[in-house]
Amino acid sequence: MRIYLIILVLALAFSCKTETPINKPNINTNTTSKSPSATIPIYGYEVINTYKHDAKAFTQGLVFHEGALYESTGQYESSTLRKVELETGKVLQKYDLPRNVFGEGLTILNGKIYQISWREGLAWQYNLEDFKLIKEFQYAGEGWGLTNDGKNLLMSDGTHIIRVINPENFETIRTIRIFRENNLPLMQINELEWVKGEIWANVWQDSMVARINPENGKILGWIDFSPMTKEEVKEPGNDVLNGIAYDEKTDRIFVTGKLWKKLFEIKVKAK
């Protein structure tokens, strides 16, 4: 009997040590840079040029089009749509949103500007040349980031879901669900940009940008902007990294942040 009890105790102890751990809930959604998978590439960057950026611009959406930047800024009572001169950061054209609206993502498709709001459930279509309002749309849920694939709009809403949207009526055509390497949802997807057939996505309060396959939502890689973010947030008043713009004609990429005094032209490279 004593021998049997000893064997039983040893068996239980061994089973406890070799038990597969259960993943904890993804409570902190901003841990991308701490636990990337070795099977998904992580890229660095090289700064090619540095430009001035309006330190009062709470950047929510950023687009490069025909030699100029177009920017959507947030905050209640001060949200705007603006056209900005790249070389100087000078605001060339500006449209003020209603004071009770918080501006969010921005994109340009077929000669029209599209802009969304945060919690107001409103989106707008403007004339590219004079910012004249053409249409106003309504949608359910929040609006965070906005881009397009050349045909449809793609919108993030603060969750792990990206909506593919009809630009004519703002109705959702389908959804793309994005998951981290550990199969947990990639929450707080923010500003978006379409780059060479991929969706590039800022993650709110993170220094990593996800490169996403638009067909299946798989993460193709990460771009680590932590050195830039660490340096920029030292500046008084600077907020988080947010803002990606791609110049397709010259293959240039621009990034900035909310209330940052600088905008960077960067080149992605292997770490």
Per-domain residue ranges of the chain: 41-270
Average pLDDT over residues 196-206: 95
- Whole-angstrom distance, CA of residue 239 vs CA of residue 202: 14
- Please report, for residues 19, 20, 52, the alpha-carbon distance to residue 8 in angstroms, rounded to integers and kept in the order given: 17, 20, 71
Q: Does domain 41-270 have CATH number 2.120.10.30?
A: yes
**What digits encode the pLDDT tens for the residues 117-151?**
999 999 999 999 999 999 999 999 999 999 999 99
pLDDT category of residue 38 using cuts at 50, 70 and 90? low
Q: Is residue 197 pLDDT above 70, yes or no?
A: yes
Q: What per-residue string of b and e applies to 123-159 under the rule 16 or more CB within 10 Å gives b?
A: bbbbebeebeeeeebebeebbbbbbbeeebbbbbbbb
Q: In the predicted model, what is the mean pLDDT of residues 34-63?
A: 88
Q: What pLDDT was estimated at residue 234? A: 82
Residue 189: name the closest of 223, 120, 179, 198 by CA. 179
Compute the mean pLDDT over every residue in the chain, rounded to the nearest whole number.
87
pLDDT recorded at residue 270: 87
Model confidence at 15: pLDDT above 60: no
26 pLDDT band, cuts 50/70/90, is: very low
* pLDDT at residue 179, rounded to an integer: 94
In which order are the strands placed within the sheet that holds 112-117?
A: 103-109, 112-117, 122-127, 133-138
User: How much of the chain, in percent, has pLDDT values that exceed 90?
Assistant: 79
Q: Return the pLDDT at 116.
A: 98
What is the average pLDDT across 30-50?
74
Least confident of 13-22, 194-203, 231-240, 251-260: 13-22
